[in-house]
């Protein structure tokens, strides 16, 4: 978003910087998303992980469910 003077709105700039940071460090994002105690949601977790991290998380959950059923 751009305001009347042609400058970026601070919220848009913050979001753009956040998206760039998310693309840079995948493991740091995992640590941030997993270590949240409050104010985080499932949407925030998946947004911070990206599609590859989300795929890994879903795969681990499914595999863990199968192993749990197998050994119980």
Q: Is there a domain that residue 37 lies in?
A: yes
- Cα–Cα–Cα angle for 65, 67, 70, nearest 5°? 110
User: E strands of the chain, at which residues?
Assistant: none
Q: Is there a domain that residue 1 lies in?
A: no
Q: Is there a domain that residue 15 lies in?
A: yes
Q: What is the pLDDT of residue 38?
A: 52
Instruction: Tell me how far apart the alpha carbons of residues 1 and 24 are, in angstroms, rounded to a whole number.
Output: 23
Q: What is the pLDDT of residue 61?
A: 94
Q: Is there a domain that residue 44 lies in?
A: yes
Q: Is there a domain that residue 4 lies in?
A: no
Q: Which domain holds residue 51?
A: 10-71
Using pLDDT thresholds of 50, 70 and 90, give the confidence band for residue 7. Answer: low
Domains held by the chain: number: 1
Q: Is there a domain that residue 24 lies in?
A: yes
Q: What is the pLDDT of residue 15?
A: 80
Q: Is there a domain that residue 5 lies in?
A: no
For residue range 21-69, list pLDDT tens digits in order: 777 766 666 666 665 555 567 777 777 788 888 899 999 999 999 999 9
Rounded to two decimals, the pTM is: 0.45
């Amino acid at each position: 978003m751009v305001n009347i003077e042609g400058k970026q709105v601070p919220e848009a700039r913050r979001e753009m910087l956040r998206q760039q940071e998310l693309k840079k460090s995948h493991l740091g994002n995992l640590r941030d998303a997993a270590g949240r105690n409050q104010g985080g949601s499932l949407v925030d977790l998946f947004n911070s992980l990206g599609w590859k991290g989300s795929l890994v998380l879903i795969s681990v959950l499914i595999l863990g469910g199968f192993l749990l059923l197998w050994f119980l």
